[in-house]
Every structure is written in structure tokens, then in C-alpha cells.
């Protein structure tokens, strides 16, 4: 009996160990089987997705152009053919620009206008525009100019004499009858640390003019360059900064739907500088170059809205 009692635990341990081993083997087989099933299912799903995507793409290309209730075309694909003409939608001519206004480009050369074109025009600018008005004798136009005028002081500085009282340019504009506005501002602001502030303030000028007279034609002019000597020696007036500002002004003109005139090309050399003989100080134009500027404006006019 003692012998049998002693052997029983040993036999039981062996049986338990054997069962554990079988359990581990079975568990590994189940894990491998499950992994294989997951892999197979994943491959099947991926294959089905590719088939569905291919079918959808082919089907999509056969969908005709739909017309919405507002008669506007809804293009289902870049290469969809128009149901009526069988021509690519992208090949259709662009809608005619009624009035001929193109604010995304420079005002192109046009037929020369007479000086009477400026009878109802207002010129806003700093000392450069002040000299322009003086030397060209364009007395039929209204000049709201002042030395050092900037895009912010247009609203604040009392520089225009109206009825014996000095008021700001914008206040004076509210009291003026006009159909066109020519603006050149920015050279004094080239010393500003933030270009975005400059163009923000410039945009506020445009918005206010539109509020005063929504029908007015607004021309913003590129800032004239300075001579190479000034650009290389001045503390902040640099042609590189002027070019940066001109790009911002042109972009603003497109966004605000007004006209951008590249007046700078009327006086600049091929390398973009103001000729040394054009200005005694390299900045303010002499009389003959002011006439070049005027002739450029007379040959670059836009159609009325």
C-alpha cells in the first residue's frame, strides 16, 4: 500500500505535465490558424477594394455633366465631355469679360487720351506726385498731395485746404466730385518694419474710396524706383523694398478689383533703377521725366466700369 500511495502522485504529475504540453501545442496551432485566417481575410478585403475602386473610376468617367436648377454646370471629372457638344469642358472658351475689366494684369497700352481725361480725376500722393502735378501743369485735375504723405496719414493729417480749413485727404475726397482716382504711395513707408501693415493700410484707402464713390475708377500706381546711388546708400529707401511693395500693391489691386498701372517703367532703366539724370537727388523727378510719367498715364487707361 505504501508503495502504491507513493507512485500515485508521480503518475499524476506526469499526466498533468503531458496535458499542459498538449495544451500549449494546441494553443500555438490555434494561434497560427487564427493568424492565417486574418491574413487571408485581409488580402480578400484589399482585393475587393481594388476591384470596387477600379469599377467606380470607370463608371465615374461615363457620368454626363449634370445641370443644377441654377443652370450652372457641375463637372464630375476633369475630362468629362459636355453632353451637347462632346467637347472637353476645359476646352470651352472663357466667359466674355463684360466691360473689359481685367484686374489680374497690368493696365495695357491703349490709345492716347487727351488731358481732358483727367478733368474728373483726383491724384493722391506724396512729394513725388506733388512735383508731378507742378511740373506737368495738370491743373484740370485735383491734387491731394503732400510731402511725406503715407497710407496711414491719408486718414489723419490735415494737409488739404478746403474753404480756409485744413482737413485730411479722405475728408477732402468726401467733399469732391470725381470719377477717377490715381494713387501713388509707399516710398516713405519703405522704412516700416512690417510689409503687411503697409498693404493693410493701403487696402483701407481703397475700401474708403469705394464707400465714397462706388462708381469711381481707381488706379494704383507702382512706386517709382530710385537711383542706384540712393538705393545703395540710403538707410531704408531701397529698390529691393520698392519692388516688394509693388508686388503687394499689384496683388491688392487684383483682390480689390481695381487697376494697377506700372508707372515705374516709364522712367526706369533696363536694370530697374531711376537714371541718375532723372532726379537731382535720385528720388524726385525733374520736369522732363514728369512728362514721361504723364505720357505713360495718357497711354495706359482702362475701360470704365
pLDDT(5) > 70: no
The string of pLDDT tens digits covering residues 31-56 is 788 778 878 887 777 777 665 555 44
Q: So where are the chain's domains?
A: 1-62, 64-93, 104-298
Q: How does DSSP classify residue 296?
A: H
- By the 10 Å C-beta count (0-12 exposed, 13-18 middle, 19+ buried), 185 is classed as buried
The string of pLDDT tens digits covering residues 112-155 is 999 999 999 999 999 999 999 999 999 999 999 999 999 999 99
Q: Look at the domain 104-298 and name its fold.
A: Rossmann fold (3.40.50)
Residue 162 has what pLDDT?
A: 92
Q: How far is CA 224 from the centre of its chain?
A: 22
Q: Which residue is listed with cell 475587393? A: 48
Instruction: Please state whether 8 falls in left (phi above 0), alpha (psi between -120 and 50) or beta.
Output: alpha
Contact of 281 with 131, CB cutoff 8 Å:
no
Q: How does DSSP classify residue 193?
A: S
The reply to whether the predicted model has a pTM over 0.75 is no
Contact of 198 with 245, CB cutoff 8 Å:
yes
Q: Which residue is listed with cell 475602386? A: 53
How does strand 217-221 pair with strand 180-184?
parallel
The string of pLDDT tens digits covering residues 250-298 is 999 999 999 999 999 999 999 999 999 999 999 999 999 999 999 999 9
Amino acid at each position: 500500500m505504501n508503495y502504491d500511495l507513493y507512485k500515485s502522485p508521480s503518475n499524476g504529475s506526469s499526466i498533468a505535465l503531458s496535458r499542459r504540453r498538449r495544451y500549449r501545442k494546441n494553443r500555438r496551432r490555434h494561434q497560427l490558424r487564427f493568424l492565417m485566417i486574418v491574413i487571408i481575410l485581409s488580402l480578400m478585403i484589399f482585393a475587393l477594394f481594388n476591384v470596387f475602386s477600379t469599377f467606380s473610376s470607370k463608371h465615374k468617367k461615363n457620368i454626363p455633366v449634370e445641370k443644377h436648377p441654377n443652370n450652372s454646370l457641375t463637372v464630375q471629372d476633369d475630362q468629362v465631355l459636355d453632353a451637347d457638344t462632346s467637347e472637353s469642358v476645359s476646352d470651352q472658351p472663357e466667359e466674355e469679360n463684360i466691360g473689359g475689366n481685367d484686374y489680374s494684369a497690368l493696365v495695357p497700352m491703349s490709345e492716347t487720351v487727351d488731358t481732358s481725361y483727367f478733368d474728373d480725376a483726383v491724384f493722391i500722393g506724396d512729394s513725388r506726385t506733388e512735383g508731378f502735378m507742378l511740373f506737368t501743369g495738370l491743373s484740370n485735375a485735383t491734387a491731394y498731395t503732400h510731402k511725406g504723405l503715407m497710407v496711414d496719414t491719408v486718414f489723419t493729417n490735415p494737409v488739404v485746404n478746403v474753404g480756409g480749413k485744413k482737413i485730411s485727404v479722405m475728408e477732402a475726397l468726401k467733399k469732391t466730385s470725381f470719377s477717377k482716382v490715381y494713387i501713388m504711395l509707399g516710398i516713405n513707408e519703405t522704412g516700416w518694419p512690417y510689409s503687411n501693415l503697409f498693404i493693410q493700410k493701403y487696402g483701407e484707402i481703397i475700401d474708403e474710396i469705394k464707400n465714397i464713390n462706388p462708381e469711381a475708377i481707381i488706379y494704383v500706381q507702382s512706386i517709382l524706383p530710385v537711383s542706384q546711388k540712393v538705393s545703395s546708400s540710403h538707410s531704408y529707401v531701397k529698390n529691393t523694398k520698392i519692388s516688394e511693395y509693388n508686388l503687394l500693391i499689384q496683388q491688392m489691386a487684383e483682390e480689390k478689383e481695381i487697376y494697377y498701372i506700372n508707372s515705374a517703367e516709364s522712367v526706369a532703366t533696363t536694370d530697374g533703377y531711376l537714371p541718375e539724370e532723372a532726379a537731382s537727388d535720385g528720388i524726385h523727378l525733374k520736369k522732363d521725366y514728369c512728362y514721361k510719367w504723364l505720357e505713360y498715364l495718357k497711354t495706359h487707361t482702362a475701360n470704365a466700369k
